[in-house]
């Protein structure tokens, strides 16, 4: 079966800087793929490539291909791509505070999506909007539809942004750090809503996050990006049980857990390099506890591991 | 028992907004009757969600904001009634590390300028070699003194912010979400640095955070706030929570372990507006254990070794 979203060896450049280098991803219907990495690792850029939005930031796919439901995005015209976004691909932004138009009522902002993409009449669009709001467990949907964005709390606004993403009845939802701007108790609610959408509607979810806890909670597969390259990719259970790449392991162990003694939390030394100063060889080697001279000299290839893949010169030997 | 570093007594801050022609102003209590004693060398955490008053509390403690009532006493000196000159002298002994290392450093200042400013403000000469020493103490290379903030990563900037806070060798430091705008991978570095500096310099910390996991990892004692009031003080980091809100905060985090998935979010609803608080317990509307008693009468902290403001503690 063709995957719904497939990135094959995608490289992305802005000007002379190559920011993504040969990233490959597959996402099937009804599946949740987590895309993780620190700030500056290329997560959002991957999402923009998947939506064909790179020209907005002056970037382009310099190698490889992005296909949605078997269609190469590069072969589509601008209007065709525009018809895809909103209709078949819904997008949930990081900051719900800036994603809504402050001078338009909530209902109208959601209505416009289904009027534009599904060709619904004004009244049918509003009925659909109210239905969506109810599905997202928003109390008093009628009142909320008449409200202005500033009257709603952050968690409520994020639900509105999710309702907008759903209004075109998409097959794929791309959520870029959908809970980062929210309080912890509200974050748990939004993560639950997204998980329910995948389960009940069978949409595919590409979830960008820096939180390995969220990945463990709702993702089927996870792709770990570092400095524009894929470090590791695979099913969630084996990766958390036995991370192959030292970077994956470091991302998991830098979250404090219940009962952890003070002084035992391990961070990752240093910071993600900028695209103009990528180190030679494995880009993670200056921060890696396992690094050897070899790591600085050779770029590790992606090697198949179980049903996933990892790129490290010091991959653990499979257990016998 | 060591003498307290800081005593907070019935501290309250009332904010007024709106108002105008034919429009009544509305008032809210950002911090309501908070009392707390911090011993020398202790790390006390204050945790809560946005709008719970934790940052207001931090600013009141350093008198960056004037309280509506109540007192803050540092090592025997009542800060709330100090005249400006005496306050400036007292401020040498306290400092603050801000949440956002991107906006808390002047973009036109070099790192050396940033670290010189505390001395200028206090009209003290900059000791020779001080800047290099401060940079080394926070784990930055000394050549960074001539760098500007835009040349530094988020973690490096926050290290500069910490060096600035410690420049005058304060005894008491308020850490206002020092890792909230950093990657989790960088968070541990900063926490390690803060822990090491506390041991070396004998510092006392008030650590403000929204992340209960992090607070439990780093702090000796934990104050949990909800809508301006303290709902529970955990006497130790691993004490079992007694307030349903604290329990919910713990249960809202996701463990990085796919074998421990949960089906249900612990809380429904969101924090009500502080402008029209319900008459009873502020948490009653979201609490699974709430009864009519909770909705009509406000619980206060009980006088136990594990103070909790709840009629039905867990």
% of chain B surpassing 70 pLDDT:
99
Task: Look at residue B3 and tell me whether its pLDDT is greater than 80.
Answer: no
Q: For residues B250 and B265, what is the distance between their CA atoms, to the nearest angstrom?
A: 11
Contact A7, A49 (CB under 8 A): yes
**Cα B46 to Cα B60: distance, rounded to the nearest angstrom:** 14
Per residue in A266-319, pLDDT (tens digit) is 788 888 888 888 999 999 999 999 999 999 999 999 998 888 999 999 988 765
pLDDT for A86 beyond 80 = yes
pLDDT tens digits, B293-313: 999 999 999 989 999 999 999
d(CA B82, CA B61) in angstroms, rounded, equals 13
pLDDT at B297: 93
Give per-residue pLDDT as tens, B212-229. Answer: 989 999 999 999 999 999
Residue numbers of B between 4 and 33 with CB closer than 8 Å to A: none
pLDDT category at A320 given cuts 50, 70, 90 is very low
The verdict on a CB contact (< 8 Å) between B183 and A210 is yes
Prediction ipTM score: 0.81
Residue A204 — very low, low, confident or very high, per pLDDT cuts 50/70/90?
A: very high
pLDDT of residue B1: 53
Q: What is the pLDDT of residue B184?
A: 84
Long-range contacts formed by B86-91: CB under 8 A, 24+ apart = B87/B63, B88/B121, B88/B122, B91/B62, B91/B122
State the average pLDDT for chain A.
Answer: 90
For the beta carbon of residue A122, count every other beta carbon within 10 angstroms.
10
The model's pLDDT over A134-170, given as tens digits with 9 standing for 90+, comes to 888 788 889 999 999 988 888 889 889 999 999 999 9
Number of helices followed by number of strands (H, E) in chain B: 9, 10
Tell which B residues from 265 to 304 touch A, by Cβ distance under 8 Å: 265-268, 270-271
Q: Give percent of chain A above pLDDT 70.
A: 99
Mean pLDDT of A228-254: 93
Distance between CA atoms of residues B162 and B95, nearest Å: 9
Per-residue pLDDT, A277: 87
CB spacing of B256 vs A263 below 8 angstroms: no
pTM of the entire structure?
Answer: 0.88
Residues from chain A contacting residue B213 (CB–CB below 8 Å): 255-258
- pLDDT value for A68: 95
Q: Which residues pair with A32 in a beta bridge?
A: A205
The pLDDT tens digits of the residues spanning B120-172 come to: 999 999 999 999 999 999 999 999 999 999 999 888 999 999 999 999 999 99
Query: For residue B34, is pLDDT > 80?
Result: yes
Note the pLDDT tens digit of each residue in A31-60.
999 999 998 899 999 999 999 999 988 999
Q: How many helices (H) and strands (E) does chain A have?
A: 12, 12
Alpha helix (H) residue ranges in B257-301: 292-296
Give CA–CA dist A244/B245, Å, rounded. 38
Measured between alpha carbons, how far is A153 from A184 in angstroms, rounded to an integer?
Answer: 14
Dihedrals φ, ψ of A289, to 5°? -75, -20
How far apart (Å, rounded) are the C-alpha atoms in residues A252 and B256? 6
CB-based contact, B256 to chain A, within 8 Å: yes
Q: Which of A185, A254, A258 sits opposite B187 (nearest CB)?
A: A254
CA A248 to centroid of chain Cα atoms: 16
Whole-number Å distance between alpha carbons of B41 and B5: 8
In tens, the pLDDT along A3-32 reads 999 999 999 999 889 999 999 999 999 999
């Amino acid at each position: 079966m063709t995957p719904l979203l497939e990135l094959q060896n995608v490289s992305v450049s802005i000007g002379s800087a190559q920011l993504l280098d040969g990233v490959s991803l597959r996402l099937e219907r009804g599946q949740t793929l987590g895309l993780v990495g620190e700030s500056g690792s290329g997560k959002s850029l991957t999402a923009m490539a998947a939506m064909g939005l790179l020209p907005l930031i002056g970037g382009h796919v310099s190698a490889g291909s992005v296909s949605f439901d078997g269609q190469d995005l590069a072969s589509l015209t601008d209007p065709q791509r525009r018809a895809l976004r909103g209709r078949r691909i819904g997008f949930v932004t990081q900051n719900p505070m800036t994603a809504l138009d402050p001078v338009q009522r909530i209902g109208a902002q959601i209505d416009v999506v289904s009027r534009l993409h599904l060709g619904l009449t004004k009244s049918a669009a509003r009925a659909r909007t109210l239905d969506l709001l109810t599905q997202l467990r928003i109390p008093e949907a009628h009142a909320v539809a008449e409200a202005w964005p500033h009257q709603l709390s952050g968690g409520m606004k994020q639900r509105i942004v999710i309702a907008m993403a759903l209004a075109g009845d998409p097959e794929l939802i791309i959520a870029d750090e959908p809970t980062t701007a929210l309080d912890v108790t509200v974050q748990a609610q939004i993560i639950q809503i997204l998980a329910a959408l995948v389960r009940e509607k069978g949409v595919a979810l590409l979830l960008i996050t820096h939180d390995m806890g969220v990945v463990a909670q709702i993702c089927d597969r996870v792709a770990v990006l570092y400095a524009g390259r894929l470090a590791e990719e695979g099913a969630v259970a084996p990766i958390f049980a036995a991370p192959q790449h030292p970077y994956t392991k470091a991302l998991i162990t830098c979250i404090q857990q219940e009962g952890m003694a003070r002084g035992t939390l391990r961070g990752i030394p240093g910071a993600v390099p900028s695209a103009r100063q990528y180190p030679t060889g494995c880009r993670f080697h200056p921060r890696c506890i396992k690094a050897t001279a070899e790591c600085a000299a050779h770029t590790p290839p992606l090697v198949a591991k179980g049903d996933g893949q990892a790129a490290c010169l010091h991959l653990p030997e499979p257990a016998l | 028992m060591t003498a307290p570093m800081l005593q907070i007594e019935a501290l309250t801050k009332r904010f007024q907004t709106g108002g105008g022609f034919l429009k009544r102003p509305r008032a809210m209590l950002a911090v309501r009757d908070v009392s707390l004693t911090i011993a020398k060398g202790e790390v006390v955490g204050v945790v809560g969600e946005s709008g719970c008053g934790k940052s207001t509390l931090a600013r009141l403690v350093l008198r960056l904001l004037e309280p509506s009532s109540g007192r803050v006493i540092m090592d025997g000196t009542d800060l709330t009634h100090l005249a400006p000159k005496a306050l400036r002298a007292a401020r040498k002994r306290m400092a603050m590390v801000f949440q956002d290392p991107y906006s808390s450093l002047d973009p036109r200042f070099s790192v050396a300028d940033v670290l010189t400013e505390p001395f200028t403000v206090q009209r003290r000469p900059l000791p020779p070699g001080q800047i290099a020493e401060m940079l080394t103490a926070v784990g930055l290379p000394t050549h960074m003194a001539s760098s500007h903030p835009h040349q530094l990563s988020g973690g490096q900037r926050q290290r500069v912010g910490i060096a600035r806070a410690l420049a005058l060798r304060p005894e008491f430091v308020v850490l206002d979400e020092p890792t909230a705008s950093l990657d989790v991978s960088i968070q541990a570095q900063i926490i390690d640095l803060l822990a090491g500096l506390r041991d070396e310099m004998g510092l006392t910390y008030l650590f403000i955070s929204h992340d209960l996991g992090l607070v439990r990892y780093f702090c000796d004692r934990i104050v949990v706030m909800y809508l301006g009031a303290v709902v529970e003080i955990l006497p130790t980091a691993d004490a079992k929570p007694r307030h349903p809100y604290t329990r919910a905060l713990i249960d809202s985090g996701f463990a990085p372990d796919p074998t421990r998935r949960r089906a249900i979010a612990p809380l429904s609803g969101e924090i009500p507006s502080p402008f029209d608080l319900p008459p009873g317990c502020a948490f009653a509307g979201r609490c699974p254990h709430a009864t009519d008693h909770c909705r009509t009468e406000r619980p206060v902290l009980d006088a136990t070794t594990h103070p909790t403001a709840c009629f039905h503690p867990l």
